[in-house]
């Protein structure tokens, strides 16, 4: 028996790899019929995610607690799963003003090159995952999320096992039940989306499910850390014209102030939205606003409460 025979047998057991006879002649359908079929398949994904919400929430609480103490959120995956982790990490700096590459980190098997081309053998190496985490100088305050549609990718499983051995919090996100990844992690999130429209193409429903969960992990963690005020993105980094306009709109929505007052507040706070809101609502100067925010660990609502403004 070759290693490929054993791997083939393993793939035969995975829900995400299952063959669906009812789709055997999908290529004979019209383009509109295929699109309707695919859309119907995609519509089942949120329900699969909903079944895992208690597990997801528990993972978020644990991640947020460690990040509040200075820990990092690290995603580790290969192929599509790795790309989704890197994507989510890369969106956190402009959205939540995190430090690029330091607070939320995305690791993909094979390194940055693997974002656009396949790096042969990288996903099969648990040792590579350990080396990538060691390069980050992982600590017990960090959280590592291994991502793998199959739940068996050696890079993702190896990352979780190595992280757990170092005392870090571990989460395993997969799309098959009873996966080695979930078993290796403290928090196993298994979003079972079923067989794909195209056999084995786990960038489809499985990829969508992973993206939805990663959205939750990062966004709700940031909400818990005080990166929003209600639903307002008050830690936005205004790095371009659109974001500068968005900053002004957010301050307006939070305060109801006029344009002149908003401009004055943002000028005083070097364009930072959160202290600008505090300047306007609490009627304090920029230095006081920054001091109040530091005392409340960046939670705007708490800083406002300290001034009696809410």
Structure tokens at 273: 């939205």
Angle at 100 between CA 49 and CA 224, to 5 degrees: 45
Is the CB of residue 158 less than 8 Å from the CB of residue 130?
Answer: yes
The catalytic residue among 91, 141, 186, 263 is: 91
Active site residue 91: yes
Angle at 174 between CA 171 and CA 180, to 5 degrees: 75
Active site residue 123: yes
Q: What is the DSSP string of the chain?
A: --HHHHHHHHHHT-GGG---GGGTTGGGS-HHHHHHHHHHHHTTHHHHHHTTHHHHHHHHHHHHHHHHTT--EEEEESHHHHHHHHHHHHHHHHHH-PPTTTSEEEEETT-GGGGTS--TTGGG-HHHHHHHHHHTT--TT-EEEEE-SSS--HHHHHHHHHHHHTT-EEEEEESSTT-HHHHHSSEEEE----S-SSTT-TTSHHHHHHHHHHHHHHHHHHHHTT--BTTB-TT----SHHHHHHHHHHHHHHH---HHHHHHHHHHTTT-HHHHHHHHHHT--HHHHHHHHHHTTT-HHHHHHHTT--
The catalytic residue among 17, 41, 103, 123 is: 123
Catalytic residues: 91, 123
């Amino acid at each position: 028996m070759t290693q490929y025979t054993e791997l083939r047998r393993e793939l035969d057991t995975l829900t995400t790899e299952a063959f669906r006879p009812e789709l055997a002649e999908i290529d004979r359908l019209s383009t509109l019929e295929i699109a309707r079929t695919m859309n119907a398949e995609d519509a089942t994904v949120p329900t699969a995610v909903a079944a895992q919400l208690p597990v997801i929430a528990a993972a978020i609480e644990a991640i947020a607690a460690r990040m509040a103490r200075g820990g990092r959120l690290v995603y580790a995956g290969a192929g599509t799963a790795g790309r989704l982790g890197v994507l989510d990490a890369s969106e956190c700096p402009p959205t939540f003003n995190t430090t690029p590459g330091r607070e939320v980190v995305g690791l993909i098997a094979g390194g940055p090159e693997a974002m656009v081309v396949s790096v042969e053998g990288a996903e099969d190496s648990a040792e590579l995952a350990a080396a990538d985490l060691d390069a980050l100088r992982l600590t017990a305050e960090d959280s590592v999320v291994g991502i793998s549609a199959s739940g068996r990718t050696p890079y993702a499983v190896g990352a979780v096992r190595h992280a757990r051995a170092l005392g870090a919090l571990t989460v395993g996100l997969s799309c098959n039940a009873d996966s080695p990844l979930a078993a290796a992690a403290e928090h196993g999130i298994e979003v079972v989306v079923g067989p794909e429209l195209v056999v084995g193409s786990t960038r489809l429903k499985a990829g969508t499910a992973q993206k939805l969960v990663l959205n939750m992990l990062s966004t709700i963690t940031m909400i818990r850390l005080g990166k929003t005020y209600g639903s307002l993105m008050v830690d936005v980094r205004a790095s371009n014209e659109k974001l500068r306009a968005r900053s002004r709109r957010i301050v307006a929505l939070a305060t109801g102030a006029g344009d002149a007052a908003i401009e004055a507040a943002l000028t005083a706070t070097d364009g930072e939205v959160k202290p600008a809101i505090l300047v306007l609502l609490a009627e304090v100067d920029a230095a006081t606003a920054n001091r109040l925010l530091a005392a409340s660990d960046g939670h705007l609502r708490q800083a406002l409460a300290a001034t009696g403004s809410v």
